[in-house]
Amino acid sequence: MPIQRNIKSILALVAGGILPLAFAPYHIYINAIISPIFLFTICRNALAKQALWYGWLFGIGYFGVGVSWIYIAIHDFGHTSIVLALSITGLFIAFLSLFPAVLTGLVAFLFPNESKIKYLLVWPALWVILEWIRGWIFTGFPWLSLGYSQLESPLSNLAPILGVYGVSLAVTLSAGLIILAYCWKNSARFIAIGGLGSLWIFSFFLSYIPWTIPIGNQMQVTLIQGNTPQDIKWEANQVKLALEKYHQLTERHWDSDLIVWPEGALPVLYHQIEQGYLAHLEAEAKIHHTDLLIGLPFYNQESGKYYNGLLNLGTKRSFYYKYHLVPFGEYIPLVSYLQGIIDFFNLPISSFSSGEKQQPLLQVAGYPIAASICYEDAFGEEITKKLPEAKFLINVTNNAWYGDSLAPHQHLQIAQMRSLEVGRDLARATTNGISAIINAKGQLIATTEQFITTTLTGSIQPREGKTPYVFLGNDSIIGLCFISFVFSVIKNRRVAK
């Protein structure tokens, strides 16, 4: 028995470790089904304590590979020691691994006996509930939700109806149906195979539904990718170089309707260049009837607060301040308790304040837009609050913190999902790649290479209307999962009696 448990432990770790291969840049989306199949099978007939352990090991593999880039941000660009960077990254991975541990432990505890309902309702519903909780607890970390991995599979067509969590549900339900087809016999096997086929065929034909409609003419947009190295961008001599670089790259594209600079493109505060540099750019933009969006930090001299913001120059000068900040990256949660620890370890933490939750939509090239800054686009329901008024999406991002890692590819995949969910084109400008133009189907129309100074010019189509997901949000799918789980628990107890 100890040998068997050791083998299962190793298999759980490996099953979690191969799951990130389902996501960008690998796109082996079938792994998102294979990996849960291994986990569910390993936990068959396991005691709750054993299942908890298998789930935690699965999480160590899953997040240990999938978010290993956290180390790069802390060590390579945060300049902390190897030991401290490894410790912080390890603790973060260990914490995230508690979610699959809770999943397997709860299922084993509440459903110790094998049943069809366990694979049809319990595993899929609880998986999605815990993904959703991970997406909001402590401000949320929705990275690597299973649904993101399916952008190239037919299941992605469920996103405009049920969002990314609905796609996650379809993935885990597919895993459960495959287990049923293999383990059960007679009619149950045929029902499982039929259900699996119906789910995928139905999802495939959803791609033919035009959830939103184009309005007006296509717009020419240019994305500026300055590629200023993160570790030197704030040095005094780099400020002038950055100002000159972005100005020169922009001058070549005044024929575009919209020009977008990335998050934190300029390593200088807004009020320091408002009168000279920005006033000159604004005048040029008006002459050419072009709107220019610039990512840069703002300082409110009255309140003494700093904001990570987006400035619109052109038709009308307006601002958007980032609302959903990155904990321990842009601000310190529970600052009165943790400030001493942060100072002791000399961790690099910014001190940004959160913008208002409800801000007027930026008006760009005659259209209202849904703007987001970096990490904000990982929260689908926050984007839907700007719909259906917004006619297209803009995201500005600084991925330079993560170097040549999985993070920029995974983040681009998240941006694609946002376009697909709400049926809007998206223009995404990043500091050093991957900048992209994405259509309303979540498909990449054009992208840049990483780590080069370049521009990307293409067309985006303003659109109107709203997908079912814009109307329903996450409430419908999460509510369905809670009902399914509670129903299964009640039914299982009645059977046990």
Active site members: 263, 322, 374
> CA-CA distance, 100 to 376, in Å (whole number)?
24
Contact in structure between 55 and 39 (CB atoms under 8 Å): yes
> CA-CA distance, 255 to 263, in Å (whole number)?
23
> CA-CA distance, 426 to 419, in Å (whole number)?
6
3-class DSSP state for residue 322? coil
435-471: b or e for each residue (b if 16 or more CB lie within 10 Å)? bbbbbbbbebbebbebeeebbbebbbbbbbbbbbbbe
CB atoms within 10 A of CB 482: 15
Pure H helices in 184-217: 187-205
3-class DSSP state for residue 396? strand
Contact in structure between 159 and 420 (CB atoms under 8 Å): yes
Q: Which CA distances in Å does 152 have to 30, 193, 200, 443?
A: 10, 22, 13, 9
Contact in structure between 294 and 405 (CB atoms under 8 Å): no
Pair of tokens at residue 6: 């050791």
R_g over Cα of the chain: 24
Pair of tokens at residue 57: 């090991």
Closest CA to 148 of 41, 31, 50: 31
Under 8 Å CB-to-CB from 35, ≥6 apart: which residues?
15, 16, 18, 19, 22, 62
Residue linked to tokens 């304040």: 353
